[in-house]
C-alpha cells in the first residue's frame, strides 16, 4: 500500500499522505514517496495541486516520533535535510499548491502545510509546533516559514510554548486563509483549485515565482523580479486571448498554456 497517493483529475493533481493508522505521520518512507510523486507530476497538464491527509482525523500529525526516537545526531541531521529538501521541492513546484487541512497539522504536518502556497482547513483542524516539548526544534522549516507567515513574535510564542491552536485561532493569525466544516473542506479545495486552473497558467506560474523570489529580496530588487514576470507573459497566446476577449466583450476561450 502506497504511503503517498497521487491522482490527477483534469487539471488538478491530488496528493494524499496515506498513513491514517499513524495519523499520517511522516516517516522516511513517506518522504521518499512524496519526493517521487512531486517529480512525477505532469506540469504540462496539471495546473494546481491539492495536498491532504487520508482519513477524517488528521492532515499530518508530525514527523514520526517512533522513527526519530533512536536517531543519532548525524542521522537526525540527515532526516532534517531530507525533509527540508522534499518540502522545498513542494514549495518551489512551478504550479500553485493548496493544503487542505482536515484535522491535525502538528510539527512536520504544520510545516508541510506551510510549504504549500495556500492553506484552507476544517473547523476541526489543530495546528502547532510541539517539538520543544519533545526535546527537539522544528526540523522541516517550521522556525523559518512560521515566522514569515504569521509574525516573528507569534511564531516564537507558538514554538517556545509548544502550544497547539485550534482552527479559529489559526485563521485569526493568518496561518490559514479560510475554514470549512470538514464535510465541505475538500469540495472547497476543489473549487479553489478549479478557479486557479481556469486562469492563464503561464501568468499564474510567473506570479507564484515572482512572489516567492521577491519575498527573499529588498523591494527595489523585488520590483525588478515582477517586471520580468510581467514581461514574460507578453506575446503568449493566453495574453492575446485574455486581453482580446476583454476588448471584444466576450468570455475568453479556455487558456491553452501557450
Ligand atoms: N509520530 C508517530 N506516531 C504518531 C504520531 C507521530 N507524530 N502522531 C500520532 N501517532 C500515532 C500514535 O502513536 C497512535 O499509534 P498507535 O498507538 O495506535 O499505534 C496513532 O497515531 C493514533 O494516535 P493517538 O492514539 O495518539 O490519537 P489521539 O487522537 O489520542 O491523539 C494526537 C492525537 C495528534 C493529539 C496525538 O497522536 C499526538 O500528540 N501526536 C503527536 C503529535 C506531535 O507531537 N507531532 C509533532 C511531532 S515532532 C527534525 C526533523 C523533523 C522534525 C523535527 C526535527 N530534525 C531532524 C532536526 C519534526 C518534528 C515533529 O514533527
DSSP codes of every residue in 202-228: HHHHHHHHHHHHHTTS-HHHHHHHHHH
User: What positions carry a catalytic annotation?
Assistant: 111, 131
Please state, rounded to an integer, the average pLDDT across all residues of the chain.
97
Q: Which atom of ligand 1 is nearest to the CA of 77?
A: 56
Q: Which domains does the chain have, with CATH numbers?
A: 4-197 (3.90.226.10), 201-247 (1.10.12.10)
Looking at residue 175, its pLDDT comes to 98
- In tens, the pLDDT along 178-224 reads 999 999 999 999 999 999 999 999 999 999 999 999 999 999 999 99
Distance, CA of 35 to CA of 42 (rounded, Å): 14
Cα-to-centroid distance, 29 and ligand 1 (Å): 16
Looking at residue 206, its pLDDT comes to 97
- In tens, the pLDDT along 141-150 reads 999 999 999 9
pTM: 0.98
Cα-to-centroid distance, 242 and ligand 1 (Å): 48
Probe residue for ligand 1, chosen from 57, 65, 130, 139 as the CB with the greatest number of ligand atoms within 8 Å:
65
Q: Mean of the pLDDT values across residues 74-89?
A: 96
Looking at residue 1, its pLDDT comes to 75
- CB within 8 Å of 146: residues ≥ 6 apart: 110, 114, 129, 138, 155, 158, 159, 175
Please determine, for residue 20, whether its predicted confidence score (pLDDT) is greater than 90.
yes
Amino acid at each position: 500500500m502506497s504511503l503517498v497517493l497521487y491522482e490527477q483529475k483534469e487539471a488538478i493533481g491530488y496528493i494524499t499522505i496515506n498513513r491514517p493508522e499513524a495519523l499520517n505521520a511522516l516517516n522516511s518512507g513517506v518522504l521518499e514517496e512524496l519526493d517521487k510523486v512531486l517529480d512525477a507530476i505532469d506540469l504540462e497538464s496539471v495546473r494546481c495541486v491539492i495536498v491532504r491527509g487520508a482519513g477524517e482525523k488528521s492532515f499530518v500529525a508530525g514527523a514520526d516520533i517512533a522513527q526519530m526516537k533512536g536517531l543519532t545526531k548525524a542521522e537526525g541531521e540527515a532526516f532534517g535535510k531530507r525533509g527540508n529538501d522534499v518540502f522545498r521541492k513542494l514549495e518551489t513546484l512551478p504550479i500553485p499548491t493548496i493544503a487542505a487541512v482536515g484535522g491535525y497539522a502538528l510539527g512536520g504536518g504544520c510545516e508541510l502545510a506551510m510549504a504549500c502556497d495556500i492553506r484552507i482547513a476544517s473547523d476541526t483542524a489543530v495546528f502547532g509546533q510541539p517539538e520543544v516539548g519533545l526535546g527537539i526544534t522544528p526540523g522541516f522549516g517550521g522556525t523559518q516559514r512560521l515566522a514569515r507567515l504569521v509574525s516573528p513574535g507569534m511564531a516564537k510564542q507558538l514554538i517556545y510554548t509548544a502550544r497547539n491552536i485550534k482552527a479559529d485561532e489559526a485563521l485569526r493569525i493568518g496561518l490559514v486563509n479560510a475554514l470549512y466544516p470538514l464535510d465541505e473542506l475538500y469540495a472547497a479545495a476543489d473549487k479553489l483549485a478549479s478557479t486557479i486552473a481556469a486562469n492563464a497558467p503561464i501568468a499564474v506560474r510567473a506570479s507564484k515565482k515572482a512572489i516567492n523570489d521577491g519575498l527573499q529580496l529588498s523591494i527595489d530588487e523585488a520590483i525588478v523580479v515582477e517586471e520580468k514576470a510581467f514581461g514574460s507573459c507578453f506575446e503568449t497566446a493566453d495574453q492575446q486571448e485574455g486581453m482580446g476577449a476583454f476588448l471584444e466583450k466576450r468570455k475568453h476561450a479556455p487558456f491553452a498554456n501557450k
